[in-house]
Structure 1
Amino acid sequence: MTGIISLSFAILVVIAVVFPAAKALSLNYHDHTCPQLEFAVSKAVKKAILNDKTVPAALLRMHFHDCFIRGCDASVLLESKGKNQAEKDGPPNISLHAFYVIDDAKKAVEALCPGVVSCADILALAARDAVAMYIFACSVVSYLYTFVLVWRSHMGGSKGRKDGRISKASETRRLPAPTFNISQLQQNFAQRGLSVEDLVALSGGHTLGFAHCSSFQNRIHNFNASFDVDPTLHSSFASSLRSVCPAHNKVRNAGSALDSTSTTFDNAYYKLLLQGKSIFSSDQSLLTTPKTKALVSKYASSKEEFDKQFVKSMIRMSSITGGQEIRRDCKLVN
């Protein structure tokens, strides 16, 4: 254990230097103004996970979708009002869920220190804890323990985000689509200061969760003029997808798990990708350039390398800031 702690400290130092938090963020931002913040958020997340194993994937995706629009400003949590449709009602966000976890955490935090902590900070902490708790639940002792320590102490520890006042469904088109090719993905990530390494590592978040038929229908029906099914798909896998998502599917919640271990945070996503068993076109596109394919192979063969880069990339993404206020209610501007 001493070795693990020493390694954790060493990695923390490296990450703190190479990936400093954004100027507005601080590791000890709420140490004096809300010292019980992290406990309150963790408690709300733990309670939710005990009742619903889909919560980790939901919170991770929610945080990603928030940060990619106007920065990590909790604009994804705002409700539509009047003629304005908010982000959560945009097509890519219709399937987001577990908003109640953030609401519960916010209520607990407000009871401790009213008007101090942003919804954006709470969402970042919740996403971190959701994945970290699930990792610990699934793996008693693992190399990932080291990196979760780093993630908890640096990424989630960096606080001071503000909440945004603008949320528009029309802006959800800025999110990377499941049909994107590699050029579109690289451009989309680069616009947010994220690298190719971040792109491949954050795509590994698809190790958790579920995809509806509409998000991969393009690969299994009328793919192009020559093929009905995407030829890069493994034949038996394509058949299984077609069986749950027929051409004129009318089952509302039909779809497929994103990988074979969709409630476990691991590197199965990359292994399946190399076997032609990925869900989205965007996943498959990671094999179309030498650099991204090499990274996929690296993470497929080493869970430790994936874990390490995933934490670094989450730190980068979570440091994209925005917002102007501290909301009293995460669903409404002040």
Structure 2
Amino acid sequence: MKAGEHDISIPFLYVTALWIGIASGLCNARGLKVNFYHNSCPQAEKIVKDITESRVRSNPVLPAKLIRMHYHDCFVRGCDASILLDTVNDTKSEKETVPNQTLSGYEVIDDIKAKIEQVCPGVVSCADILALAARDSVSFAFNRPLWEVPTGRRDGRISLASEVLDNLPSPFSTFDSLLQMFSNKGLDLKDLVLLSGAHTLGVGHCSAFSRRLYNFTGNGDQDPSLDPAYAEFLKKQCPNPANPATTVEMDPQSPLSFDKHYYQTVLENKGLFQSDAALLTNRDSAKIVRRLQISHSFIAYFGNSMKKMGAMGILTGDAGEIRKQCRFINP
């Protein structure tokens, strides 16, 4: 095998075992552990679960919002809840950048934090609350936690808008740029394909894909990799010029179901973003897409990659702080 190639002929069961071991090793080495608050705040995870499930019950699009927020947090400065910080004075926070201006669900994290502070003040980090809430929001429909969330993260004190674009994967990305960005974060090709599976939930804004419809190469053309009939459907939803407020479901057949259908959509050349279509431009990632489309274990594989992502760039021990309010650093 040449350097840089990925042996995707390895049985998925074996790969999964490797991922579990890698993820566990990362978490243990970096100070995270399952049930970190067992003694210091034993009610913490139940509070997160109860409030999250209550909100999902009344707002079924919330899982997509919280998963996305967790992604956007971890890719910039690691999973330190920097995405939750509001702008103070003249230094704009991560929230102020274009990719993050469409994030929502902050009030759910605020409510969970307020409740936990009443019970265990100064103990549970906002970073852990976000990681748990993202998992619990998706798990609600299954009546069981879909993956373990080791805890023990601490909160960062810095959030800079200027750091977002260079660290956050873009819907306009090519395969090579996606893989390089994931590699820079300690994630591999399999993680890239699996974490892209979160696009089975939620919506995309027209501005994030309209170039594929109207001006793909700058000559008023359409992306030839996009299914023509689907492109016509999208044009009806998103006339040119794009209205930034208009959205389209990323997985039109099951936009509220956390399932493997995203991979079928990609294989049908109906992936909404250029970054979705990019998964088919690489031989190895395309093979993984095809495997996942027929696999019965997507959720388990996805959970392992979420554990790896959730351990990126974390603060533990005495680093950072435990914020009293998730939107502001402590005085």
Global fold match (TM > 0.5): yes
Contact 1:216 1:280 in 2 (8 A): yes
1:317 aligns with 2:313: no
Contact 1:209 1:262 in 2 (8 A): yes
Partner of 1:295: 288
1:19 to 20, 23, 36: 23
C-alpha offsets along residues 26-64 of structure 1, whole Å, 9 cap, x if unaligned? 223211000001110011101111121111000000000
- Other structure's SS at 2:204 match: strand
1:169 to 161, 174, 186: 161
1:246 aligns with 2:244: no
1:326 to 304, 322, 328: 322
Residue type of the alignment partner of 1:126: A
1:31 aligns with 2:38: yes
Q: 1:175 to 1:225 in 2, by over 3 A?
A: closer
Give the Å deviation of 1:227: 6.4
Give the Å deviation of 1:16: 5.2
C-alpha offsets along residues 114-164 of structure 1, whole Å, 9 cap, x if unaligned? 00010000000000100111344xxxxxxxx6xx45x1xx3x2x1110100
Q: Distance in 2 between matches of 1:129 and 1:237?
A: 33
1:120 to 114, 119, 127: 127
Contact 2:73 2:79 in 1 (8 A): yes
C-alpha offsets along residues 295-314 of structure 1, whole Å, 9 cap, x if unaligned? 01011112x23222101100
Give the Å deviation of 1:329: 0.3
Runs of at least 5 residues in structure 2 that lack an aligned partner in the other structure: 1-14
Partner of 2:5: none
TM-score by length of 2: 0.89
Contact 1:135 1:264 in 2 (8 A): no
Q: 1:273 to 1:16 in 2, by over 3 A?
A: closer
Partner of 2:113: 106
1:257 to 241, 245, 249: 249
Q: Distance in 2 between matches of 1:269 and 1:17?
A: 27
- Other structure's SS at 2:34 match: coil
Partner of 2:8: none
Runs of at least 5 residues in structure 1 that lack an aligned partner in the other structure: 1-10, 137-144
Pairing 1:146-225 to 2, within 5 Å after superposition: 148=145, 151=147, 154=148, 156=149, 158-173=150-165, 174-224=167-217
Q: Distance in 1 between matches of 2:290 and 2:220?
A: 27
2:58 to 40, 51, 70: 51
More helix by share: 1
C-alpha offsets along residues 229-268 of structure 1, whole Å, 9 cap, x if unaligned? 1111111100011111111234x52121001211110111
TM-score by length of 1: 0.88
2:86 to 62, 79, 86: 79
Give me the identity figure in percent: 41
1:40 aligns with 2:32: no
Partner of 1:140: none
- 14-23 or 283-292, larger mean C-alpha shift: 14-23
- Other structure's SS at 1:88 match: helix
Give the Å deviation of 1:12: 10
Residue type of the alignment partner of 1:265: F
Q: 1:200 to 1:12 in 2, by over 3 A?
A: closer
Give the total of aligned pairs: 308
Give the Å deviation of 1:169: 1.1
Give the Å deviation of 1:207: 0.4
Give the Å deviation of 1:226: 6.3
Q: 1:14 to 1:232 in 2, by over 3 A?
A: closer
Contact 1:56 1:134 in 2 (8 A): no
1:237 to 230, 233, 236: 230
- Other structure's SS at 1:211 match: strand
Q: Distance in 2 between matches of 1:13 and 1:216?
A: 36
Contact 1:85 1:169 in 2 (8 A): yes
RMSD over aligned CA atoms reads: 1.9
Q: Distance in 2 between matches of 1:327 and 1:172?
A: 22
Partner of 1:3: none
Residue type of the alignment partner of 2:309: M
1:93 aligns with 2:111: no
Q: Distance in 2 between matches of 1:205 and 1:220?
A: 23
- Other structure's SS at 2:286 match: helix
- 317-326 or 16-25, larger mean C-alpha shift: 16-25
Residue type of the alignment partner of 1:32: N
Residue type of the alignment partner of 1:326: I
